[in-house]
């Protein structure tokens, strides 16, 4: 677990600066964002509040980080006013319409490189579960991969134990909960479930205006990585077929549609062990033409 001097464990609050709302010109279709239409989501504010509570319990310090243009400094100054010890911004261009298709890997890599260079691997990283603009929720998982840390995503409640130990509650379907014991270093994403960021005092707000914000350039390794623009289902390859037999249009239509041929009815298979389920799925894909006989083979 990394420390900063004798100040205790480092707890990073990764805030996603993004569009909160936008307007679309009905004539040109251009997307317009006003001065007050950017910021952080309620989930990110809940992550900052959890970080501040844990820092008080573990005698640690909170570092608020974000990735964005100079306009994102307003969100970091709000974090400083609420009680964060330091603020770090990765200088990056403002988001545009094409960036909304990305998968979060570039943002996570940029943040991880900047945080690791200055603080090493933090003891705990807290994020909002989903940002307002993309809504994919992939950044926390990519951060955990970059740090080589444990992860717990979609958390609604945190129960701190000894320094470095957490008991977290995840929301499941049908009103159920999953309780996990998490050991640091870890990355935890939280929902905005009953937790609101504390209100900063007036002296703290005034002091945050002159507070220092460390700005680092976006890593070239992060910007050089490919970005996924779109994805879709796999379609079987086209192949040449013989023309239908028959002299009359009705005969050729019947052959093309297979109206009088035996068809395979739907069936329920399982539950099966993982290995048998994979074999069943691959066999179905081969039978439907999605895979050839040489594709998808298992050792």
Rounded Cα distance between 272 and 249, Å, is 46
Phi/psi for 125 (5° steps) reads -120, 125
Positive or negative torsion for Cα 268, 273, 275, 276: negative
Report, as an integer, the average pLDDT of 118-145.
82
Each residue's pLDDT tens digit, 66-83:
988 888 888 899 999 999
Q: How confident is the model at residue 3 (pLDDT cuts 50, 70, 90)?
A: very low
Q: Is the pLDDT of residue 287 over 50?
A: yes
What is the per-residue pLDDT for 35? Answer: 65
pLDDT band at 295 (very low <50, low <70, confident <90, very high): low
CA atoms within 13 A on the CB side of 258: 4
Q: How is residue 128 written in tokens? A: 């909002």
Q: Predicted confidence band at 236 (pLDDT cuts at 50, 70, 90)?
A: confident
> How many CB atoms lie under 10 A from the CB of residue 10?
26
Count CB neighbours of 19 within 10 A: 20
Report which secondary-structure segment, H or E, holds 202.
helix 202-208
Question: pTM for the full model?
Answer: 0.66
pLDDT tens for each residue of 147-189: 999 888 888 888 888 888 889 998 888 888 889 898 889 999 9
Predicted confidence band of residue 13 (pLDDT cuts 50, 70, 90): very high
What number is the average pLDDT over the span 129-134? 69
Q: Where are the beta strands (DSSP E) in the chain?
A: 10-14, 18-19, 23-24, 31-32, 38-39, 61-68, 86-91, 124-128, 150-160, 165-171, 177-183, 186-190, 214-217
């Amino acid at each position: 677990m990394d420390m900063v001097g004798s100040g205790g464990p480092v707890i990073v609050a990764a805030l996603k600066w993004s569009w909160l709302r936008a307007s679309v010109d009905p004539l040109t279709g251009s997307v317009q964002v006003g001065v007050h239409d950017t910021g952080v989501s309620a989930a990110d504010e809940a992550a900052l509040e959890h970080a501040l509570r844990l820092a008080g319990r573990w005698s640690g310090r909170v570092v608020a980080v974000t990735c964005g243009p100079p306009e994102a400094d307003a969100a970091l100054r709000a974090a400083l006013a609420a009680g964060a010890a330091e603020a770090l911004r990765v200088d990056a261009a403002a988001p545009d319409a094409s960036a909304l298709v990305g998968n979060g890997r570039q943002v996570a890599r940029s943040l991880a490189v900047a945080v690791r260079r200055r603080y090493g691997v933090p003891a705990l990283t807290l994020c909002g579960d989903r940002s307002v603009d993309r809504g994919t929720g992939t950044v926390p998982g990519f951060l955990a991969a970059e740090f080589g840390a444990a992860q717990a995503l979609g958390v609604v409640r945190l129960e701190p134990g000894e320094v470095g130990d957490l008991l977290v509650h995840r929301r499941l379907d049908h009103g159920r909960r999953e309780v996990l014991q998490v050991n640091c270093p870890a990355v935890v994403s939280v929902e905005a479930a009953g937790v609101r960021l504390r209100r900063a005092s007036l002296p703290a707000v005034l002091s945050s205006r002159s507070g220092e914000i460390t700005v680092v350039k976006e890593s070239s390794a992060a910007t050089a990585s490919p970005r996924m623009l779109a994805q879709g289902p796999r379609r079987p390859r086209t192949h040449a077929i013989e023309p239908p037999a028959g002299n009359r249009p009705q005969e050729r239509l019947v052959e093309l549609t297979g109206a009088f041929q035996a068809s395979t009815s739907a069936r329920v298979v399982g539950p099966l062990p993982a290995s048998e389920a994979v074999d069943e799925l691959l066999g179905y894909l081969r039978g439907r033409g999605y895979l050839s006989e040489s594709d998808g083979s298992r050792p």
